[in-house]
Amino acid sequence: MSIERRLHELGLELPEAPTPAGSYVPVRVWGHIVFVSGHTASSKDQRKYLGKVGKEVSLEEAALSARDACLNCLASLKNELGSLDMVDRAIKVVGYVNSAPGFDQQPQVVNGASDLLVELWGEQGRHARSAIGVAELPSGASVELELIVGIKDRI
């Protein structure tokens, strides 16, 4: 089953790939490893779930923010690779959580992205991970996500 069909079955769809907000590329392919730059939850360049988690943004909203940031990572991957079916496995997720003082549930927030990858790729979606609390993120985003995946041979 294609990954995009699986997304549809989950009631989700890929947004348009976001445009870079600076002097970087959204995706860099190196051999069979693909590095995806930090993405936030946005739709048509409008950011969602703004503010500090544990203050303006609830734990549940933050997990949705991580999921939507992951969807944006996947949109950039599709834009670069042509198809998400080129992805063989998730390797690593790094999640940065804009945390209010005392908020310590960063792993639960980043589960919003991790759970999506497992729902899409099964065991191949399981990955190494870091969930890091930070004082601020660009434009007040609640979560920023980086993704590293392995890809199949390009023909």
Looking at the predicted structure, is the pLDDT value of residue 155 above 90? no
Tell how far CA 79 is from the center of its chain: 15
Locate 44 and state its tokens: 């048509």
- What pTM, to 2 d.p., does this model score? 0.95
Supply the angle between the helices 59-81 and 106-121 in degrees, to the nearest 10. 40
Locate 57 and state its tokens: 């943004």
Residue-wise pLDDT tens digits, 7-58 = 999 999 999 999 888 999 999 999 999 999 999 998 776 788 999 999 999 9
Task: Give how many domains the chain has, as a whole number.
Answer: 1
CA distance 103 to 107: 11
Residue-wise pLDDT tens digits, 64-83 = 999 999 999 999 999 999 99
Q: Which residue range is the domain that position 71 belongs to?
A: 3-151
Number of residues that make up the chain: 155
CA distance 155 to 5: 23
Residue-wise pLDDT tens digits, 99-126 = 999 999 999 999 999 999 999 999 999 9
CATH code of the domain in which 60 resides: 3.30.1330.40
Whether 111 contacts 60, CB under 8 Å: no
Locate 122 and state its tokens: 């099964």
